[in-house]
Structure 1
Amino acid sequence: MSVALTTSPVAPSLLHRLAAGKTLPILIVLGALLLVWYAFTIYLNAPWQIDAYQRAGTEWTAADLVRDAMAQERPVLPAPHQVLAEIWKTTVETRITSKRSLLYHAWVTLSSTLLGFVIGTALGVLIAVGIVHNRAMDKSVMPWVIASQTIPILAIAPMIIVVLNAIGLSGLLPKALISTYLSFFPVVVGMVKGFRSPETIQLDLMRTYNAGSAQTFWKLRWPSALPYLFASMKVAVAIALVGAIVGELPTGAVSGLGARLLAGSYYGQTVQIWAALFMAAGLAAALVGIVGIGQRMIMARMGERP
């Protein structure tokens, strides 16, 4: 007669679960970055603080130096908690319609970003279709598309603004066109690669079915290019945000994240600059995430398995 022994599985510890996933590595990297940031904050702000102690004739200790270096009103490098406090103050504690609100400035920049992104994506897809289906466009247009990206955007942005203002176009559209200029390139490159991704045997099969050019495009080339489209759109939407911010710099704009950065640099408000930078980074991450959600939904409808 044998007795079966049963043992209850020991629940894994919280640390083990974190280590098995992605959370712990992310937390370790984030903690290391914060430590480095705080160290550089003290190092860069300490000279001015020591000079302030000497001019005031006050005695100080290392603890006083560390505390005061991370609490300066206009530091060389603000501490992380200063940046977070500024973001909280200008998003939660400030009315969204106020021109001191980061959300207000983010919306102004987002408007031109989305308009430029939509125009750039549509333009990029149309150019890619022409390049794939027309050999003359492939040989003539594609080199110019590549060459267009060698021009520094900081040099061309003022020219676009001045020319468009001269013909009476101002406000949202000039900034959107700068976003378009930056965002259409990754879409063109990605979609050309996507449209050409079907294998020769697949194209021969479509000819066997007596499919025309339009049917081959919509039934084969377009579905094959969708993964490339979404990958290029993730790059395009982030770079469109950069274009919108750059477009706000030479216009003397009073609203938008670019204007916020410019005002902060004029008055030495480094905390304001860093808060605007983090808002821009968060906005870009959110836009890329939205494109990713759209990709998963559409590809799932097309039968793609996770």
Structure 2
Amino acid sequence: MVLALLAPIAVSCTKTNDEFILVPVDGVVRLRDGGPLGGIRVGFFAPGSRIVPLAPPPHSPLAPEGWRAGQGQIFENPIYATTDMQGHFRVALRQGRYEVWIGAASDSGIMSQSVPDLTLISSPVTLDLRYAGYRLSGRLIGPGGAALTSGSVFVLSRTNTARASVVAGSYSLLLPADTLAIWANPETVDSDRGIPRVKREAVILSSDSTLDLSVDGFVVTGTVTGPGGVPLDGGLVSATAATASAYSRTAADGTYRVYLPGMAYFFRVDPGPGRDSIGIRQYQNVLIDSDRTLDFDLSGAPTARR
């Protein structure tokens, strides 16, 4: 449960030169188990300063713009406070009503979360905020069962987003309970080796969990040739489906290799720079359900052999 407990503290209110009353707000942000949450941002958004109001979805509010990807509430001059290592923060706010959000930088692995609104009149306030979320951690598992040492994980909930980098072979996210879509993204050095970007859908998070994400698949290899059967080096073979995609540059002998989870793919074959006369070819509904060799003859139709 998200708690926002308000109690007076012995700090006097002050006024600015513009005669706006500033109300001191002291607080602490804790995890569900009561441990302090340091280095987190607490954002105060005044609805009266909203520039573009957008209707929230029925289940929960949208995060303010800048705390999520895509459209949301857009506010003018929000106020932020950052917690110290003991989870404490202090800020002075004008009188009024505020939407309050707990969050962090977009790539911190911490998804922003709303807590009950705050109304300030004149008395100083103490806030005890709880981040009602769970830890999701794991690894990206590539070909041969080897854990990738770099990469990232992107998470989409019904109302918000979060991203975390793979550090020392693992990732860690702090997320509210929800049904999530999760993308496992290899670093460029691994994507260039044909390792896929993979999406997991309908992941239900309701407790601290460990989830290793596979970025592996069936091995698809082949050769790209041009007119006269000449191997084409420096070309690009890419395969895209609803929940996975991968690409590979062709080597000096025209060969490529990608790893693809089983499903039907849209293949796009680019012969490489300086070969405009050959042109880019596209092939739809190519079923990958086992390791296979798929050759592309850009002087005619592609051939496939198992």
TM-score by length of 2: 0.18
The structure with more helix, counted as a fraction of residues: 1
The structure with more strand, counted as a fraction of residues: 2
TM-score by length of 1: 0.18
With CA pairs under 8 Å and 6+ residues apart, which has the higher RCO, 1 or 2?
A: 1
